[in-house]
Chains A and B, each alone.
Chain A
Amino acid sequence: MTGWRDALPSDGLLAVVKRDCPTCVLVAPVLAELAAEGAVAVTQDDPAFPEETAPRHDADLELSWRLDIETVPTLIRFSGGREAARAVGWNKAEWRAVAGRPELGEDLPENRPGCGSLSVEFGMPERLAVRFGDIPLSARRIVVEDHDDPMEAAFDRGWTDGLPVVPPTDLRVARMLAGTTRSAGEVIGEIPPNLAPCTVEKAAINAVMAGCRPEYFPTVLAAVEAALDPAFSMHGLLCTTHFAGPVIVVNGPVARRIGMNWGLNALGQGNRANATIGRALQLVVRNIGGGRPGGIDRATLGNPGKYSFCFAEDETDPDWTPLSVARGIRPGASAVTLFHGEGVSGFVDQKSRTAKELTTSLAHYLWHVNHPKLCEFGGALLVLSPEHYLIYKAEGWGRTKIHEALRAALKRPGSEVVRGAGGLAEGMEPGRENEVVDKFREPTFLIARAGGPAGLFSAVVGGWTGMRMTGEVDPVTKEIGT
């Protein structure tokens, strides 16, 4: 077996072609003419093509990958062992210049575009990089013995959230890394509780395990960055005895591009992007930060959203201001908003017909977040369904008006909510009897639109009790990069 370098002429011509490319077939007579004078023909598919050239078959595509061939045919001139000139596709003048043969291909047309090289087909560059050793991975390799099962090995090592994970092989990690322009070694931040540095590579490994496709990866990275913003207080959220975990709302063109769900069953199962982006964030916290249930995660009950809780906002109505825009991201940009949410609580109102009726009704329901007498405590994420939104829209209400009306309806007389009032021990601290108090601190009440077209149902996602810490725990929005 000879090495790939042996195929390269020190001084001479080399052409890479495939039978499946009409332009390569067109130039085959030219290649036969050049081969007669010592040029090397390299074929990617049919080992006998082009005829009369004694082709070298690049079966494993190593040569094509090493020479960075993107298009066939490609003609390269070597001089003194180095590449001196290259022509891509068929262009008579270029080939004549590279070959140094002014009469070459007289009968051929002036120009024909080439075809894609097999070495750049989808997923192939990463496969070749893994195979031929140019991959920049630095994470520890864990060898799985023949008698073992990779899925079981992942469970045994404590890498999973209880569901099977996709084994993070070099090829899968390399493909995930191809989903971002950021370098594998870049440190995104330190993941609590252990404040372990999180590189793009480590995030990619966890995204692979979560089941993400590479095109989801920039959204995962933005979610990790948002979680690490000190304003979000991820440390406290993962340690808490409360139910809450991170909830991700995705806005902007990325949601459509990666096929996220904001429609039917948007908060439920069945969509890969929704399911795996949220899971990837949880696996990053678990595996890199060391935040595990029974360890530092002390949740009394937790909630099913701690496997994954991620959905996109419905931005199909141009009258609606997206959540990200309301939170300062420029229109048209993609962003994630992270909220500290417990499970979904269903609001049912099939009788309200006016904006005012619906607002009063929603406020009654929202009072119950955490406890009807706890105000300025956990916030809330209201997921407004299309049919409820239509009641507002019919009266010309948009995000700002709905938000303001709900905030006004959510004010409570302090005398009704202090401890002991109404015969209930729980409530606000004494001394606030004469105040009017807000149910939610301003930055902790969010509204997003999602849901299927039918059903006068909206969802309330109650917020973490840690949100009572003014200035320490707030939702965070980050733009999604590349």
Chain B
Amino acid sequence: MTEPYAMRDPTAETEPAMRQPVVPPASLDGLTIGLLSIGKERSVEFLDSVEERLAAQDLKVLRFAKPTHTKPAPRGVIQDLVERCDIVVEGLAD
């Protein structure tokens, strides 16, 4: 009997072989929406306008910001998003 041909996984192995996409919520009622500025020029103005529109629909909005767009979000920011938001919109990346 020959051994099966096997390779070693070059990835971070954070995904199962079959990835299940997150199902989007049917309605935004009662959900908290996080707006994350990635720290790039004009992000804040853009997200201000998004916040205005969401608030007009009586939706709960929280604001978050990365210090700079050249580096990943600090762990504290990511943790805050996970704990306090149901949905996250990030911008503005060109």
Residues of A whose CB lies within 8 Å of any CB of B are 137, 139-146, 150, 153-154, 159, 167-170, 173, 191-197, 201-202, 205-206, 209, 230, 233, 235-237, 239, 241, 283, 287-290, 298, 466, 469, 472-473
Contacts and interface: CB of A to CB of B under 8 A. Distances in A.
Given A196-B12, A197-B12, A298-B94, A469 B68 contact: yes
B18 to A, nearest CB: 12
Interface string B4-31: 1111111111100000000000000000
B5 A150 contact: yes
12 contacts: A140-B9, A142-B6, A143-B4, A153-B7, A169-B5, A209-B10, A235-B71, A235-B72, A236-B69, A290-B11, A290-B12, A298-B93
A139 B13 contact: yes
A173 B8 CA distance: 8
Given A209-B10, A230-B71, A239-B93, 16 more contacts: A142-B7, A143-B5, A144-B6, A153-B7, A167-B7, A168-B8, A168-B10, A169-B8, A194-B12, A195-B72, A202-B12, A233-B70, A233-B71, A241-B94, A288-B12, A289-B12
Contacts of B8: 137, 139-142, 168-170, 173, 201, 205
Contacts of B69: 236, 239
B10 A159 contact: yes
Given A298-B94, A469-B70, A206 B4 contact: no
A236 B6 contact: no
Contact of B9 (A139, A144, A145, A233): A139
A342 B4 CA distance: 42
B78 to A, nearest CB: 9
Contact of B14 (A143, A196, A205, A230): A196
A25 B21 CA distance: 68
Contacts of A195: 72
B10 A466 contact: no
A144 B71 contact: no
A193 B14 CA distance: 13
Contacts of B70: 233, 235-237, 466, 469, 472-473
A461 to B, nearest CB: 20
Given A239-B93, A288-B12, A298-B93, A192 B7 contact: no
Nearest to A158: B11
A169 B12 contact: no
B-side interface mostly: loop
A169 B6 contact: yes
A156 to B, nearest CB: 11
Nearest to B68: A472
B4 A144 contact: yes
Contact of A192 (B5, B11, B14, B72): B72
A237 B6 CA distance: 33
Interface string B26-68: 0000000000000000000000000000000000000000001
Nearest to B94: A241
A469 B11 CA distance: 31
Given A194-B12, A290-B12, A168 B72 contact: no
Nearest to B38: A239
Contacts of A141: 6-9
A124 to B, nearest CB: 18
Contact of A193 (B4, B13, B72, B93): B72
Specify which of B8, B12, B14, B70 lies most central, judged by the most chain A CB atoms within 10 Å of its CB.
B8
A258 B11 CA distance: 27
A209 B93 CA distance: 32
B43 to A, nearest CB: 14
A193 B66 CA distance: 14
Contacts of B4: 143-146
Contacts of A205: 8-10
A169 B9 CA distance: 10
Nearest to B13: A140
B10 A144 contact: no
A21 B1 CA distance: 35
A145 B6 CA distance: 9
Contacts of A283: 10
A100 B14 CA distance: 60
A207 to B, nearest CB: 10
Contacts of A169: 5-8
Contacts of B5: 143-144, 146, 150, 167, 169
A167 B7 CA distance: 6
Contacts of A153: 7
B15 to A, nearest CB: 9
A373 to B, nearest CB: 18
A209 B7 CA distance: 10
Contacts of B94: 241, 298
A230 B12 CA distance: 20
Nearest to A165: B10
